[in-house]
Amino acid sequence: MGRVKTKPKGTGASQRGFSLIEMLVVVALLIVLGSICFISMIPVLKQQRVNTAYNTVLAAMRLARENAISQGTSYSVTFSSSVTPHTITVAPTVAGGFQGQQSSVTYKLPTDIIFTALSGLPTAAAAVPDGFGGGTTAIDFGYTGSNTTGGLSYVYFCPDGSAQNDTTGKCAGNWDGGVVYLARSGELLSSRAVTLWGGTGRIHGWRLYPKSGGGYQWIRQ
């Protein structure tokens, strides 16, 4: 019988590993695919930040109203566009508080979202959200039964659920309605709006959409 020849262990094509060039090609492909995925995600991430800012404004105003009703005291909501990032502060208006009264809370918008009324928003009285303002002032509260012109950056929620413009916190002023706009600078369709009806304290959210035939329109969310 002749000898049976065997291949040395660890040799041959079946034992061959990846070469350096092959590894570099794989790494390059992974980088390209990762870049494509990241780029495709950018619009989604930008949209998410707009939604986060919009929901933050709604939540802050609703929290103030709920606290005012449940705790039998007034709460202020103050919008600030003079700091970076822009903020909303919810605070009880009576220091030293009632039992269960919450402390002041400041909410921050994402850094690329600001309180702004971008050029191109509808300005006609019948086209602005809930009929408040002229579509040109970013923070525009203070519309009352006595026909004040708006432009206030704060509002007070009262124990009966209404909103007023009384700076003393005693809810002895006029009903306070208005609107606040937010968007990413230079991106008109990122615009959102939140409106407030002073007599009822109802809060509505709005989003801007293209209108058939040209132009834009606000649609309640």
Instruction: Return the pLDDT at 219.
Output: 97
Q: Would residue 191 count as lying in a domain?
A: yes
Please report the pLDDT score of residue 5 as a whole number. Answer: 56
User: pLDDT tens, 36-67?
Assistant: 776 666 677 789 999 999 999 999 999 999 99
Q: How confident is the model at residue 173 (pLDDT cuts 50, 70, 90)?
A: confident
Structural domain boundaries, residue 164: 49-220
- 9 within domain boundaries: no
33 is a domain residue: no
The answer to whether residue 16 is domain-embedded is no
CA 118 to chain centre: 16
Report the CATH number that the domain containing residue 210 is assigned in CATH: 3.55.40.10
Among 146, 217, 208, 209, smallest CA distance to 177 is for: 146
For 123-153, what is the HEC assignment?
CCCCCCHHHCCCCCCCEEEEECCCCCCCCEC
In a domain, 103, yes or no: yes
Query: Does residue 8 belong to any structural domain of this protein?
Result: no
Domain count, the chain: 1
Tell whether 3 is covered by a domain: no
Inside any domain, residue 205: yes
